[in-house]
Chain A
Amino acid sequence: MVQKILFLFFLFSGILVAQSPPQLPFELLQQPAVVEAWGKFMHKQGAVGTLIGGHLKKADLASAYKEWLAIHELAGAMPDTVKQLMASIPIEDYGMEDWGRFELARSLAELEVPETRAAGFHELIQLAAMSKASFGASAKEVLFKNRKDPVLQAVVQEMKKGGTK
Chain B
Amino acid sequence: MKCIFAGFLLLASIVSAQDPAAFKARMLAYQDAINYSKIETDVMVDLTSLSPEGAKILQVEGFDDLNDFWKASRRDPTRLFLSRSTPKPPEFHKAGTTLYGLLYVEEKYVDLRKKRAVFLTKETLVGVKYPRGKWKKILRFRQKGYAGKTEAELVRSNFPDFPAAIKFADPVAVSLGPSGPSMHPALAKLSQPEPDPPDIVALRVETLVERALAVGDFKRASELIANGKEELGTSARLLQYASLTFEKFARYEVARNTERLKHPTSRLAAMVALLEIASFETRSAKVAKSTLAPFSGSEELKQAESIASKLSTEVTP
Given contacts A1-B2, A113-B311, contact A101 B214 (CB under 8 A): yes
User: Interface residues of B, CB < 8 Å — how many?
Assistant: 41
Enumerate chain A residues within 8 angstroms of B253, measured Cβ to Cβ. Answer: 59, 106
> Quick one: closest A residue to B19, CB to CB?
A21
> Are A24 and B26 in contact, with the CB atoms below 8 A?
yes
Give bound CA distance, A17 to B13, whole Å. 9
> Are B214 and A105 in contact, with the CB atoms below 8 A?
yes
Is residue B166 contacting chain A, with contact meaning CB distance below 8 A? Answer: no
Residues in A113-148 with C-beta less than 8 Å from chain B: 113, 115-116, 118-120, 122-123
In the complex, per-residue mask of B265-295: 1 if CB is within 8 Å of any chain A CB, else 0: 1111110110000000000000000000000
> Are B2 and A102 in contact, with the CB atoms below 8 A?
no
> Quick one: closest B residue to A99, CB to CB?
B252
Which of B105-113, B128-136, B139-147, B256-264 touches A? B256-264
Given contacts A16-B14, A16-B17, contact A119 B214 (CB under 8 A): no
> Are A113 and B252 in contact, with the CB atoms below 8 A?
no
> Are B23 and A21 in contact, with the CB atoms below 8 A?
yes
> Are A119 and B268 in contact, with the CB atoms below 8 A?
yes
Enumerate chain A residues within 8 angstroms of B27, measured Cβ to Cβ. Answer: 24
Residues in A54-109 with C-beta less than 8 Å from chain B: 56-61, 98-99, 101-103, 105-106, 109
> Are A155 and B265 in contact, with the CB atoms below 8 A?
yes
> Quick one: closest B residue to A12, CB to CB?
B10
> Are B252 and A26 in contact, with the CB atoms below 8 A?
no
Enumerate chain B residues within 8 angstroms of A31, measured Cβ to Cβ. Answer: none
Q: Which of B216, B263, B268 contacts A102 (CB 8 A)?
A: B216
In the complex, per-residue mask of B10-27: 1 if CB is within 8 Å of any chain A CB, else 0: 100110011000010011
Which of B28-36, B89-97, B183-191 touches A? B28-36
> Are A105 and B26 in contact, with the CB atoms below 8 A?
no
Enumerate chain B residues within 8 angstroms of A36, measured Cβ to Cβ. Answer: none
Query: B317 CB to closest chain A CB, in angstroms?
Result: 13
> Are B265 and A58 in contact, with the CB atoms below 8 A?
no
Give bound CA distance, A95 to B90, whole Å. 47
Give bound CA distance, A133 to B270, whole Å. 24
Give bound CA distance, A27 to B221, whole Å. 48
Query: B274 CB to closest chain A CB, in angstroms?
Result: 12
Query: B180 CB to closest chain A CB, in angstroms?
Result: 30
Is residue B213 contacting chain A, with contact meaning CB distance below 8 A? Answer: yes
> Are A16 and B215 in contact, with the CB atoms below 8 A?
no
Query: B94 CB to closest chain A CB, in angstroms?
Result: 48
> Are B255 and A59 in contact, with the CB atoms below 8 A?
yes
Is residue B307 contacting chain A, with contact meaning CB distance below 8 A? Answer: yes
> Are A13 and B272 in contact, with the CB atoms below 8 A?
no
> Are A119 and B252 in contact, with the CB atoms below 8 A?
no
Binding site for B on A (CB under 8 A): 1-2, 5-6, 8-9, 12-13, 16-17, 21, 24-27, 56-61, 98-99, 101-103, 105-106, 109-110, 113, 115-116, 118-120, 122-123, 155, 158
Q: Considering the complex of A and B, which 4 residue pairs feature the smallest CB-CB distances, nearest first? A: A119-B269, A59-B255, A116-B269, A59-B256
8 more contacts with CB within 8 A, not counting A61-B256, A115-B303, A118-B266, are A9-B6, A9-B10, A13-B13, A25-B34, A26-B30, A27-B26, A59-B256, A119-B266
